[in-house]
Amino acid sequence: MTVELQANNRSTKKRSELTSIRGEGYVPAVLYGYGTEAQSVSVLETDFMKAYREVGKNGVIKLKTGNKSYSVMVQEVQAHPLKEAYTHIDFVAVDLNKETEAEVPVVVTGEAPGVKEGGVLQRTLNYINVKALPSDIPEQLEVSIEGLNIGDSVYVKDLPKGDSYEILSEEDEVVASVTPPTVVEEPETEEGDDDAASSEASDTEEAESSQDEEKEQKEE
């Protein structure tokens, strides 16, 4: 299913006018890549959010501007640090008949027996690199951790393979592992320290006692 998105051409790059565009509910964007020169556009934020949710980060959108249309992917999205709003979008036009590389999220499923025994699940790889035609890039790849005991790991080689895409990441890269629980030991007072402290206290008492005796003898 093709998702379409209407874009408007814009010529301005002034901050005040960009603010005005955002105030009208549009997001400034740039389009570049296959079959087009770099051009400044804007898209209605609500329409973009709907299209982006539908196709995902690696999905293909049919971007229409003027009397032309381009097959694009979202290269980058910038968001406001405080408001729930987009501030800028990069669209890259792609050749649907040429393979491209993309980052695909890795999702772990299930519950590891090692975690139930007190182990700690550690994620070390959240994305992998794949190569495929733009329309064949998987939205995500899943791997089960239901067989992991303490000390076990799952690797890139354990991810599902597909005829329509090639995994580029190294097969021996660890995706997730279950490590032993961390035991925090309370510091213990060593006997040697206790003996030394006791001996020091005893010596102090003996010195004070000796000084008292000398004082009494002088007074006599």
pLDDT for res 218: 47
Band of pLDDT at residue 130, cut at 50, 70 and 90: very high
Domain count, the chain: 3
Which DSSP letter does residue 2 get?
P
37-69 pLDDT per residue, tens: 999 999 999 999 999 999 988 999 999 998 999
Contacts of 181 (CB under 8 A, 6+ apart): 118, 119, 120
pLDDT for res 198: 53
Locus of tokens 């329509």: 164
Least Cα distance to 167 among 145, 135, 123, 136 occurs for 136
Band of pLDDT at residue 193, cut at 50, 70 and 90: low
Which amino acid, 209? Answer: S
- 16 and 78 housed in the same domain: yes
Of 59, 93, 127, which one is at a domain's C-terminal end? Answer: 93
Parent domain of 203 = 188-220
When pLDDT is averaged across residues 63-89 and rounded to a whole number, the result is 91
- 122 and 145 housed in the same domain: yes
Q: What count of other Cβ atoms lies within 10 Å of the Cβ of residue 44?
A: 16
Reduce the DSSP state of residue 196 to 3 states and report it. helix
Q: What is the C-alpha separation between 178 and 190, in angstroms, rounded?
A: 34
Residue 25, phi-psi category: left (phi > 0), alpha (psi -120 to 50), beta (remainder): left
- 139 and 70 housed in the same domain: no
Locus of tokens 């006791």: 198
